[in-house]
Structure 1
């Protein structure tokens, strides 16, 4: 049977990318680390790491083994947390990835109450509109707003996402209200993320519309400000523009059509048989906070 310490050493080498750094973290010399890795490879009968003078990388077998080692170590952490009674008072650091606007509007304002309930837990919140590599980036979980496809990750739905076509009253006054989807082609549209198509659900089912516009940006927040300023028509989530719809700064366009209902707000995390308590507790916190009818829809 493989020595558990060898698994911890292997995981540390992969996480740090260096036998020297792993040895420093674990209190072993680089020579001891190298010997233990070789012993592990000999026992398994396969090479786990590719070593060069500059870097260490995983082989294909090593990547699959590493994913499973993480699951084993996470299970041990969960078992120890259970025995130690840490489920009510988390420790360590919780590293989270979230979309920029959503994280700023609907995660950051609520962190105070969560951290007050768990004062020994630190939060590392990384905001990005790109899909990060959860395992490679060392993230415990990611908050994603997307139509999730099958992958090696586990997703837990947090809340529905409602997206509507909208424009500023000043734009409608100048250009008129579109009569139907095809009528959008004569309007200024504000596509996000390099002209990604709009997947819509309407009276006759699902359809795809490819918006054309002269404003190109990788920033969702730029599109938000542009539609409020009267630049054109955009497809926006109600969590993002709810206040503007309520106070009249934006009006809904073609209300019979909304963004695909397959897009949801989800917590995504590596495939693990046992979630670390800190991850489970944070996901439970968000699930209760948002609910089946999120507060931005009430």
Structure 2
């Protein structure tokens, strides 16, 4: 089977359009169309249904697309390993983590990584959905639970707890609750129970909602919750790591917090020797160590 035709077929199936695939491949629409027709003739089958809205794979086309996706993942893995130099860190690194952790903790620290490795290119994918690392949907993940997928190298980075925080301005205007029942006089800012979140966070919110809270503002990620708190909307349920970058926030009801949430870094076994992943892993660990040192320094002696 002609590898070049398979490459073009994969691009068309992925884009759902001859024109978009041609733009990606730097080929004319007619050239792409000829290659698809030639592949269909060689296989003696129809790979696409042609519609005004674009191209839809036939059953035979779906089978072939599954095969080319697997091939493409393997080629990406091989290419990544080949590109990894013995001494240099460069090239693309696809990192996935949750929206909250990615926006509130990781992204603000990335300038340090780019300063050390200016040729490193990071594609940060913020999703609550767990991406499939062995199938190379991403190269490395930071997750709020231990990964269950096989063939992954995993390392526990730290633990997180969800706590209550408010801005000084909000508390000055609305008062500071002294007990759990006092929350009924305030607006609670939290993730919706219908949104994807760590179980410990959902459990804490469920507990708080038993306090007959009359005013509620829900968002589907912690970045939105933080914006609500910073803009004096109410008292927010936030992960404790936000305090390092927002030290003016005031912890409310300090005896109240969620259960422990473990944070893991994971990547495929086949990328064990990757210099890019090693650089990213070491950077994240050093940032966490620096965070712990700062906490110890602020504790009373």
**Distance of 1:67 and 1:100 partners within structure 2:** 27
**Structure 2 segments unaligned to the other structure (5+ residues):** 297-301
**Distance of 2:221 and 2:46 partners within structure 1:** 43
Secondary structure at the residue paired with 2:10?
A: helix
Once the 2 structures are TM-superposed, how far is the Cα of residue 77 of structure 1 from its aligned partner? 0.7
Secondary structure at the residue paired with 2:105?
A: helix
**Distance of 2:240 and 2:51 partners within structure 1:** 50
Report if the CA contact (8 A) 2:176-2:252 is conserved: no
Partner of 2:163: 164
Secondary structure at the residue paired with 1:189?
A: strand
Partner of 2:175: 174
Once the 2 structures are TM-superposed, how far is the Cα of residue 49 of structure 1 from its aligned partner? 5.3
**Structure 1 segments unaligned to the other structure (5+ residues):** none
Question: Is 1:215 matched with 2:217?
Answer: yes
Partner of 2:7: 8
Once the 2 structures are TM-superposed, how far is the Cα of residue 88 of structure 1 from its aligned partner? 1.8
Question: Is 1:122 matched with 2:121?
Answer: yes
Report if the CA contact (8 A) 2:95-2:139 is conserved: yes
Secondary structure at the residue paired with 2:217?
A: coil
TM-score by length of 2: 0.62
**Distance of 2:167 and 2:207 partners within structure 1:** 21
Q: State how many pairs are aligned.
A: 278
> 1:254–1:123: structure 2 CA closer, same or farther, 3 Å change rule?
closer
Partner of 1:239: 241
**Distance of 1:238 and 1:81 partners within structure 2:** 38
Once the 2 structures are TM-superposed, how far is the Cα of residue 237 of structure 1 from its aligned partner? 1.1
Once the 2 structures are TM-superposed, how far is the Cα of residue 142 of structure 1 from its aligned partner? 7.6
Report if the CA contact (8 A) 1:193-1:217 is conserved: yes
Once the 2 structures are TM-superposed, how far is the Cα of residue 192 of structure 1 from its aligned partner? 2.3
Once the 2 structures are TM-superposed, how far is the Cα of residue 206 of structure 1 from its aligned partner? 8.8
Partner of 1:107: 106
**Distance of 2:265 and 2:89 partners within structure 1:** 24
Secondary structure at the residue paired with 1:176?
A: coil
**Distance of 2:179 and 2:9 partners within structure 1:** 60
Question: Is 1:284 matched with 2:285?
Answer: no
Once the 2 structures are TM-superposed, how far is the Cα of residue 284 of structure 1 from its aligned partner? 2.0
Bigger helix share: 2
Taking only aligned residues, the RMSD between alpha carbons, in angstroms, comes to 4.9
**Distance of 1:119 and 1:129 partners within structure 2:** 25
Once the 2 structures are TM-superposed, how far is the Cα of residue 31 of structure 1 from its aligned partner? 3.8
> 1:39–1:186: structure 2 CA closer, same or farther, 3 Å change rule?
farther
> 1:8–1:124: structure 2 CA closer, same or farther, 3 Å change rule?
same
Once the 2 structures are TM-superposed, how far is the Cα of residue 250 of structure 1 from its aligned partner? 0.4
Q: 1:68 aligns with which of 67, 70, 75?
A: 70
> 1:264–1:167: structure 2 CA closer, same or farther, 3 Å change rule?
same
Question: Is 1:251 matched with 2:251?
Answer: yes
Secondary structure at the residue paired with 2:179?
A: coil
Report if the CA contact (8 A) 1:167-1:233 is conserved: yes
